[in-house]
Amino acid sequence: MGVPDAAAKRISRLRHEIEHHNYLYYVLDAPELPDAEFDRLFRELQDLETQYPESRTTDSPTQRVGAPPLDAFDTVRHAVPMLSLNNALSVAEAEAFDRRVREALGVDTVEYSMEPKFDGLAVSLTYEDGVLVTGATRGDGYEGEDVTANLRTVRAIPLRLDQEGRPRVLEVRGEVLMLKRDFERLNDYHRSKGEKPFANPRNAAAGSLRQLDSRITAGRNLSFFAYGVGRSDPFPPGVTTQSGLLDWLASLRFPVARDRQVTTGVDGLLDYYRGIGERRKALAYEIDGVVYKVNDFRLQDELGYVSRAPRFAIAHKFPPEEELTEVLGIEVQVGRTGALTPVARLKPVTVGGVRVTNATLHNEDEVHRKDIRVGDTVVVRRAGDVIPEVVRRVPVSGTRGPEFHLPDRCPVCGSAAPRAEGEAIRRCAGGLFCEAQRKQALIHFASRRAMDIEGLGERLVDQLVDRGLVHSPADLYSLTAAALGGLDRMGEKSADNVVKAIGMSRHTTLARFIYALGIRNVGEATARDLARHFGDFVPFMEADLEALTAVPEVGPVVARSILEFFEQPHNREVIGRLLGVIDWPRVETAGATAKSPVSGKTFVLTGTLPNLTRDQARALIEAAGGKVAGSVSSRTSFVVAGEEAGSKLARARELDIRVLDENGLLELFPDDHPSIAKQQKEGS
């Protein structure tokens, strides 16, 4: 039976009233109703939805109380990557940012939008026809966790956008956090129950948002502030600046930072930074700095992106908090590249709300320069409010240990650990034969941005190495479900899934493979440059110093790291085995790509293509000498648009830039091009 008209109207009216009062209370901090009256309205709505269950919808305020527990979170791929910001840790670095922006734009002054940098958890909220349908964590920037049920419990987040003219699809980005007052209440409750309190509001917010039982999240009183839009279809007309975008989001009833400002020039940036820093402790929420963004979207597009961060924005971090403690010991850690790093074991101390027991001493020269020894009292800080480090020794009376020296042999495998001329770091020469390096090398090899082997995490790698099942990345491709099934916490289904994930990784891109090898100083961007230049692995492996330094952005330091890597016989032996099981689209050398219509052109990818993944399309373009940018500007040659293309497509049409679908992209490549393009054409 249907819902009677009178009941349907009352349900609609109650939902509107309750969300209006939620907005007044949680966003504007200006409640109009007594709590008892609000509770009466809420109970009336619950009763009506219980009486007429077919009336219950996902955007009802009653859905904020939480849902039954989940077994696990699903993965959500962001339609537009959620990129991170570069940091400025000093006034000089903030001034350098302004100088770079002005020089790139060829202007004397730039208008900036300024906002607090919330110390919370970045999330993405997707609305379709005004209704919240998906909420996800940032994750690695490309994929996050589906925490929709938990985000629906955050009362500051609108479940429905009622404004006329709202976009058909809107993805809002912002920060979930816990206000200081709510953090104290939560910890008081935990203490009253004899439970361990949270270290800081950020940890409390992150832990609350990742609860599999959203009813627990609902009781944590999380808050939210919007700071941007990932995509909008259509983009709001007349919104051309970051400050205008925040005003528009506020008109949709999203909470945005009240402490935001607009200024012109670097002096305005620094005045804002100092002013909000002075008021930091009085703010209702924790911040760890401020964010500067070029205000004009047109200028943002012109500046574009570098690696995984925008050129038009930067986070100016506050100086880290410092505390005194005692050095109980100095140990040596061996990293993925073989670097021996001295680490101070400390008498536990709370720094910036986090309990610290270890802190890096960086290298042997730093230990000697600061004269750090066992028994010393030292100043510890969290660099960038994240990584603990020993800043300096405090001279006090007492017994000091002997002067520290790094060993000349690896403490893990016993191999020689020489210190190269001109370097501050000793490195174990054991390579993949060193257990410490082996584990880290395998974790890096399997990571999402490398070979992307899902399920091959740190715990599983530890077991594989400790039990002698894997000695190098090549051994992964010989693993069987039966061998994995004998490991701890590895059931039959999990073992099958890992073996399938390893099998899927056999088909990758040359850039991913180069990056996965873990060559010192070769990151993702450099791996792409090398793949684009050499076209295949053997020419890259056999290249000499002159050939390597001919690659754009590859200097002598990177080139020498590559040569040293390939000089090791065990590395070549492992690579030889890997080349027998891994493949990627083969292309001619980069010199031959000069004849390609793609060479030298700049592409922007948007939306979902029917056959090619975003990584495949990028690899295809870059292998043929093209470039892939993150934003549309006057320098863009082509925009490749798939389903649910958003603001980038609209921007391309504004600038009269040629738009291609997947077939149009593939037509740019010759029929004899031995690549993904040919494979897709043959399969279509």
Taking the CA atoms of 282, 288, 292 and 293 in sequence, report the sign of the dihedral they define.
negative
Distance between CA atoms of 641 and 668, rounded to whole angstroms?
A: 15
Q: Which of 391, 417, 583, 579 is nearest to 504 (CA)?
A: 583
In tens, the pLDDT along 118-127 reads: 988 999 999 9
Distance between CA atoms of 545 and 558, rounded to whole angstroms?
A: 10
24-33, 322-331, 417-426, 558-567: which is most confident: 322-331
Residue 419 pLDDT level (bands cut at 50, 70, 90)? confident
Taking the CA atoms of 535, 537, 539 and 540 in sequence, report the sign of the dihedral they define.
positive
Same fold, 431-504 and 510-579: yes
In tens, the pLDDT along 166-207 reads: 899 999 999 999 999 999 999 888 878 777 777 778 888 888
> Which amino acid is located at 506 in the chain?
R
Task: Tell me which residue has tokens 């005045």.
Answer: 271
Task: Tell me which residue has tokens 């293309």.
Answer: 645
Burial of 119 (0-12, 13-18, 19+ CB in 10 A): buried
What pLDDT, on a 0 to 100 scale, did the predictor assign at position 678?
A: 44
For range 455-461, the mean pLDDT:
89
In tens, the pLDDT along 356-414 reads: 899 989 889 989 999 999 999 999 987 555 568 898 899 887 789 999 999 999 998 88
Residue 325 pLDDT level (bands cut at 50, 70, 90)? very high
What is the fold of 431-504? Answer: DNA polymerase; domain 1 (1.10.150)
Active site residues: 117
- 381 neighbors 353 (Cβ within 8 angstroms): no
The domain limits of the chain are 5-56, 91-317, 322-394, 431-504, 510-579, 590-683
What pLDDT, on a 0 to 100 scale, did the predictor assign at position 682?
A: 42
Of 3.30.70.520, 3.30.470.20, 3.30.470.30, 3.40.50.150, which CATH number belongs to 91-317? 3.30.470.30
* Backbone φ, ψ for residue 274 (5° rounding): -70, -40
What is the fold of 5-56? Answer: Helix Hairpins (1.10.287)
What pLDDT, on a 0 to 100 scale, did the predictor assign at position 341?
A: 92
The class that CATH gives domain 590-683 is alpha beta
Task: Tell me which residue has tokens 């990293």.
Answer: 335
Q: Which of 399, 382, 383, 387 is nearest to 327 (CA)?
A: 399
* Start-to-end CA span in the chain (Å): 49
Higher pLDDT, 431 or 282: 282
In tens, the pLDDT along 79-95 reads: 888 888 888 988 999 99
In tens, the pLDDT along 101-160 reads: 999 999 999 999 999 999 889 999 999 989 999 999 988 788 888 999 899 999 899 998
Total number of residues shown for the chain: 684
Tell me the pTM.
Answer: 0.54
> Beta 121-128 vs 169-177: how paired, if at all?
antiparallel
- 410 neighbors 430 (Cβ within 8 angstroms): yes
Q: Which residues pair with 291 in a beta bridge?
A: 115, 315
Residue 593 pLDDT level (bands cut at 50, 70, 90)? very low
CATH architecture assigned to 322-394: Beta Barrel (2.40)
CATH superfamily entry for domain 510-579: 5' to 3' exonuclease, C-terminal subdomain (1.10.150.20)
Higher pLDDT, 532 or 367: 367
Residue 418 backbone class (left: φ over 0; alpha: ψ -120 to 50; beta: rest): beta
DSSP symbols for 190-220: HHHTTPPPPSSHHHHHHHHHT-SSHHHHHTT
Helices (H) then strands (E): counts for the chain: 25, 22
What pLDDT, on a 0 to 100 scale, did the predictor assign at position 143?
A: 83
